[in-house]
Structure 1
Amino acid sequence: MSLASHVRLMAHYNQWMNCRLYDACQSLSHEQLTADQGAFFGSILGTLNHLVVADTVWLKRFAMAADASPVLAPMQNCPMPTALNSLLYPDFDALRQRREELDQLLLQLAETLDDVALQRGLAYRNFAGLPFEKSFFSLLMHLFNHQTHHRGQATTLLSQAGVDMGVTDLVAMTPEWPV
């Protein structure tokens, strides 16, 4: 499997899981979504907002690169979040809409990338202003891994509320061998 094929698989898995997660959350009341349950970002809504914040940060960094994919143009004028715990969307429906937009953007980005583009470096600064340059492929994998990590936290909170997410493993979308 090429790097580009793996990125496309991860983008589809990411969208699939986010859709399932938001569908599961739909059954909860606003009070249940916003209750501080002692998670790293407090509530389910806080955790889901963090994922939107982090994806916005990374997509904006990707969009500002000199060789950025044109599909990332909408991110260039998007404001950069100022904190990883920002509650950008206190309303669940607005948050879901933004999540769907970001997932669609990730799918479109994945379709534009080839192995050469993925092996380039990407220079960026973190929130403290420190400069870094890392492999674009590694940064995309970080974005998807970060999503998986915090979705795991959200599914735990859902489980505690009596909502079963069912299968969440990437293997459910992994093609059979040989490809």
Structure 2
Amino acid sequence: MTPQTAIRMADYNSQMNRRLYQAAARLPPEKQHQECGAFFGSLFKTMMHIAVGDTIWLHRFAQHPDALSLREEMEVFTKPRTLDQQLFDTLAELDPYRRKLDLIIIAWAATLTPEQLGQTLRYNNMAGQSMEKDVALLVTHFFNHQTHHRGQASTLLYQAGVDIGVTDLMALVS
């Protein structure tokens, strides 16, 4: 992971989230919340999990000594207690939250330096265990996690008759 790659991934993340949310909004709320046998059940719960995961990781990244602006941005976001926590009841409520997260991710990615990516970050996992990992690996995981679950969400959309189009990173990011 390099600072330039983090910036590209933040941009890609934002673009894909816009497309995902626009596509999901074409479905009636009952279809968004319909249990489909996916890992998180429904399209809505899958999209909620992505936002929850991003919030958790951003709080962890904000613990880095050089992440003052991220710490300040994340102060208004309550850290979720579980990976399946429901922060909102509707896509219309989740959408502005997602947009704010994406802006924070883009701004944060632009601040990353090779030195920061070469350091380690100590954080507590969801079980409360202390962990210490390379920042570059954690940032890679952060973006990979989003992509993984957006893939699940795009499959659920496709099964519901909504195609979000090309999602390939190489086709969307220059």
After TM superposition, is the score higher than 0.5?
Answer: yes
Show the counterpart of 1:26. 25
3-state SS of the aligned residue for 1:124? strand
Equivalent-residue separation in structure 2 for 1:54 and 1:71 (angstroms): 16
Show the counterpart of 1:50. 49
State the 1:76 CA deviation. Answer: 3.3
3-state SS of the aligned residue for 2:66? coil
After TM superposition, the structure 1 stretch with the greater mean CA deviation from structure 2, 76-85 or 56-65, is 76-85
For each residue in 1:9-56, what CA deviation from the matched residue of structure 2 results, as whole angstroms up to 9, or x when unmatched? 000000000000001111000000000011111101000000111011
3-state SS of the aligned residue for 2:132? strand
Unaligned runs of 5+ in 2: none
Show the counterpart of 1:91. 90
Unaligned runs of 5+ in 1: none
Q: Which amino acid aligns with 2:171?
A: A
Equivalent-residue separation in structure 2 for 1:33 and 1:154 (angstroms): 10
Show the counterpart of 1:74. 73
Q: Which amino acid aligns with 1:25?
A: A
Normalised TM-score (structure 2): 0.95
Show the counterpart of 1:100. 99
Equivalent-residue separation in structure 2 for 1:69 and 1:3 (angstroms): 20
CA RMSD of aligned residues (A): 1.3
Equivalent-residue separation in structure 1 for 2:60 and 2:75 (angstroms): 9
State the 1:77 CA deviation. Answer: 4.9
Question: Structure 1 residues 76 and 105 mapped into 2: Cα distance closer, same or farther (>3 Å)?
Answer: same
Equivalent-residue separation in structure 2 for 1:27 and 1:174 (angstroms): 25
State the 1:66 CA deviation. Answer: 2.6
Structure-to-structure mapping, 1:84-163, within 5 angstroms = 84-163=83-162
3-state SS of the aligned residue for 1:35? coil
1:38 aligns with 2:33: no
Equivalent-residue separation in structure 2 for 1:69 and 1:116 (angstroms): 16
Aligned residues with identical type, % of pairs: 44
Equivalent-residue separation in structure 1 for 2:108 and 2:22 (angstroms): 24
State the 1:111 CA deviation. Answer: 1.1
Normalised TM-score (structure 1): 0.92
Equivalent-residue separation in structure 1 for 2:71 and 2:153 (angstroms): 28
Equivalent-residue separation in structure 2 for 1:97 and 1:76 (angstroms): 17
List structure 1 runs of 4+ shifted beyond 6 angstroms: none
Show the counterpart of 2:164. 165
3-state SS of the aligned residue for 1:134? strand
Question: Structure 1 residues 77 and 64 mapped into 2: Cα distance closer, same or farther (>3 Å)?
Answer: farther
Equivalent-residue separation in structure 1 for 2:162 and 2:76 (angstroms): 37
Equivalent-residue separation in structure 2 for 1:87 and 1:77 (angstroms): 17
